[in-house]
Amino acid sequence: MKLIGSYSSPFVRKITIMLMEKGITFEFVNENPWLEGSHAANYNPLGKIPALAVSADEVWFDSPVIASWIEQQGQLPSFIPAEPMDALRVRQLEALADGICEAAQLIVREQMRPPEKQSEELLTRQRQKVERGLDALEKTAAQGEWLNGQHISLADIASGCMIGYLNLRHVAPNWCVNRPALVKLVEKLFQRDSFARTAPPTP
Ligand SMILES: N[C@@H](CCC(=O)N[C@@H](CS)C(=O)NCC(=O)O)C(=O)O
């Protein structure tokens, strides 16, 4: 089984951590979708990573779909609760963390353009999404040890990967100010072997 991705992608990291935590072996295929000649579109018509190639004719893409496929393999620990409403809550929090990553990526790409071509409107809009998203996660994190229930879930993993990405790209560098519950959660996550082993390389 091959995971097509890059070491700096928070979506790829989420999937890598799930596989590592469950002890599922895989081959990592390093693919930068932004480089000319990238093979990402061979696995996902959208040309995005991650993609999980289970065999030549079974390829899964979009990280929430890949996460569901991994869970369906039945390997413990489970990162999506069995109870349907709990599962929905976890998936919504995953979508929130992923959405913050998407907004952060738009900020990063916009800031790569020449200053005179950058849209202040786009940057403000995306920064607001990041801040509102972080506030919502802080509120949830303050309610318990994990974002949902008594156990680590996909919501926590996605949130840890999201914060790792903000740190890497210096987006919202003050994310930890006035968000003590999120800080506590992330510190706990970053101590895990799976997080330590997937820390993105600093550019
Ligand atoms: N919703 C997708 C987002 C994946 C995504 O945006 N990946 C980025 C890398 S972090 C990418 O491949 N971008 C290339 C592009 O947008 O063309 C997922 O969760 O898998």
Domain 2-72 has CATH 1.10.1740.10: no
Q: State if residue 133 touches ligand 1 by the CB under 6 angstroms criterion.
A: no
Give the mutation target among 48, 66, 98 for probing the ligand 1 site: most ligand atoms within 8 A of CB: 48
CA separation for the pair 21, 79 (Å, rounded): 10
- Indicate the pLDDT class of residue 201, thresholds 50, 70 and 90: confident
Instruction: Note the pLDDT of residue 85.
Output: 98
Q: State if residue 16 touches ligand 1 by the CB under 6 angstroms criterion.
A: no
Is the bond into 77 cis (omega within 30 degrees of 0)? yes
- Which residue has its alpha carbon closest to ligand 1 atom 15? 48
Measured in Å, residue 5 CA sits from the centre of ligand 1 at 10
Q: What residue spans in the chain does CATH classification 1.20.1050.10 cover?
A: 84-197
Measured in Å, residue 92 CA sits from the centre of ligand 1 at 18
Q: State if residue 7 touches ligand 1 by the CB under 6 angstroms criterion.
A: no
Q: State if residue 79 touches ligand 1 by the CB under 6 angstroms criterion.
A: no
Please choose, from the candidates 145, 179, 187, 175, the residue with its C-alpha nearest in 3D space to the C-alpha of residue 195: 187
Tokens (6 digits) for 129: 């999404």
CA separation for the pair 188, 27 (Å, rounded): 27
- Indicate the pLDDT class of residue 203, thresholds 50, 70 and 90: confident
Domain 84-197 has CATH 1.20.1050.10: yes
Percent of the chain with pLDDT over 90: 99
Q: State if residue 31 touches ligand 1 by the CB under 6 angstroms criterion.
A: no
Q: State if residue 49 touches ligand 1 by the CB under 6 angstroms criterion.
A: yes
Helix axes 154-169, 84-111, angle to 10 degrees: 10
Is the bond into 81 cis (omega within 30 degrees of 0)? no
Please list, in sequence order, all residues whose beta carbon lies within 8 angstroms of the beta carbon of residue 91, skipping any fewer than 6 positions away.
64, 80, 154
pLDDT digits (tens, 9 = 90+) for 29-71: 999 999 999 999 999 999 999 999 999 999 999 999 999 999 9
CA separation for the pair 1, 19 (Å, rounded): 11
Measured in Å, residue 144 CA sits from the centre of ligand 1 at 31
CA dist list (Å): 120 to 8, 29, 126, 127: 26, 36, 10, 10
Query: Which of ligand 1's atoms lies nearest the C-alpha of 102?
Result: 6
